[in-house]
């Protein structure tokens, strides 16, 4: 064999093995169960943080994938939510996206089935965050990027927040909108036509993808204005993901089909303020504990209503969780 032929042969062999290793990594990773290969695709997003979340989601066999983005100021709310929902049987579908490794071990101890993905982010995104302030909005920018990346990988997503109580498993009710709607929202008591950005059920349809591509463009433009500002600086309330998405929904961007679920079954935090007579007319799957400022205030209100499921010793009050949820019959 001539030297030039041997050189070409060697290059060809090396090229073959490189292609094989890349193909094996993304399609036949030995660490991935065979049953998960159906969903294993190469992430479409280049950001390393977002790629971590997409990779984790692709390992989950069931749909939807439930995601929530939390920082270290939210850990107790997360743990109470885990205690609240552990017996509902969907924790293997949950990804807790944390901006700090603090509390990760505690979360996994309470529910080993939950996937925890720790991101490397700007430290201004940690600690207590206030609505419509720079630190809070940076988290919202990241959340919107993650939502888009999951949709681009054809993953059905339920994006939720842990400052809530689940009184029944809502997944079957939400999935029933498949084929009829692209996005499902829960209600906003004070502004019925405005969407609640904390709870979004997203079907990976062309219209949903196009809408979130536009939303990401709008959020990136906002981020470029606030990126160097202090985290506690106030930002006008018309500048956020919830307002932007509400406008896109109202104009039916890209032919988007959406629905807002009624307050009677998916109420927000105003449920705690309405009269007892009005409450008797509701049959909530969940209650979003918002319309109150600060995590301590949310925790206090949840305890007052027996919607707090984390004991003082850090263990779960499963008896209370089952007592609260068994009252709701659908």
Q: Quick count: other Cβ atoms within 10 Å of Cβ 136?
A: 18
Q: Angle at CA 168, nearest 5°, toward 164 and 172?
A: 110
- For residue 307, give both structure tokens: 């919607």
Specify the pLDDT at position 24: 41
pTM assigned to the model: 0.82
What are the CA-CA distances from residue 220 to residues 60, 141, 223, 287, 292 (Å)? 29, 7, 5, 31, 28
Would you state the pLDDT for residue 8?
A: 55
Please report the pLDDT score of residue 174 as a whole number: 97
Distance between CA atoms of 214 and 220, rounded to whole angstroms? 10
Residue 323 CA to residue 321 CA, distance in Å, equals 5
d(Cα 280, Cα 56) in Å, to the nearest integer? 41
Per-residue pLDDT tens over the stretch 90-115? 999 999 999 888 778 889 999 999 99
The DSSP H or E segment spanning 188 is none
Q: Tens-of-pLDDT digits for all 330 residues of the chain?
A: 555 555 555 555 555 554 444 434 433 333 333 333 333 344 434 478 899 999 999 999 999 999 999 888 889 999 999 999 999 999 999 999 998 887 788 899 999 999 999 988 777 666 666 776 787 888 889 999 999 999 999 999 999 999 999 999 999 999 999 999 999 998 788 777 778 888 999 999 999 999 999 999 999 999 998 888 887 887 788 888 889 999 999 999 999 999 999 999 999 999 999 999 999 999 999 999 999 988 999 999 999 999 999 999 999 999 999 999 876 544
Gap between the Cα atoms of 83 and 161, Å rounded: 14
The position carrying tokens 């449920």 is 271
State how far the Cα of 328 lies from the Cα of 309, in Å rounded to an integer: 17
Domain 47-325 sits in CATH at 3.90.550.10
pLDDT value of residue 26? 37
């Amino acid at each position: 064999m001539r030297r030039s032929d041997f050189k070409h042969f060697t290059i060809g062999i090396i090229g073959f093995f490189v292609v094989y290793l890349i193909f094996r990594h993304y399609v036949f990773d030995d660490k991935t169960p065979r049953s998960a290969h159906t969903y294993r695709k190469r992430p479409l997003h280049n950001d390393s943080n977002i790629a971590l979340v997409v990779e984790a989601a692709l390992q989950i066999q069931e749909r939807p994938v439930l995601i929530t983005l939390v920082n270290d100021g939210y850990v107790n709310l997360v743990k109470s939510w885990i205690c609240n929902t552990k017996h509902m049987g969907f924790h293997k579908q949950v990804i807790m996206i944390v901006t700090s490794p603090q509390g990760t071990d505690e979360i996994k101890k309470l529910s080993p089935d939950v996937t925890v993905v720790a991101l490397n982010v700007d430290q201004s995104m940690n600690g207590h965050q206030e609505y419509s302030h720079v630190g809070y909005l940076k988290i919202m920018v990241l959340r919107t990027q993650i939502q888009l990346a999951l949709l681009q990988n054809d993953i059905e997503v339920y994006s939720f927040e842990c400052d809530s109580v689940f009184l029944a498993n809502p997944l079957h009710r939400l999935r029933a909108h498949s084929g009829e709607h692209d996005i499902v929202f829960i209600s906003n008591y004070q502004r019925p036509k405005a969407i609640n950005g904390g709870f979004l059920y997203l079907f990976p349809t062309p219209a949903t993808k196009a809408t979130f591509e536009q939303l990401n463009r709008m959020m990136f433009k906002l981020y470029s204005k606030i990126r160097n500002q202090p985290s506690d600086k106030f930002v006008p309330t018309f500048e956020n993901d919830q307002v932007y998405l509400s406008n896109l929904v109202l104009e039916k961007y890209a032919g988007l089909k959406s629905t807002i679920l009624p307050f009677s079954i998916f109420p927000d935090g105003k449920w705690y303020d309405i009269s007892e007579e009005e409450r008797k007319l509701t049959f909530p799957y969940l209650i979003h504990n918002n319309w109150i400022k600060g995590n301590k205030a949310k925790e206090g209100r949840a305890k007052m209503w027996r919607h707090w499921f984390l004991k003082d010793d850090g263990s779960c009050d499963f008896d209370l969780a089952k007592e609260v949820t068994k009252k709701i019959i659908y």
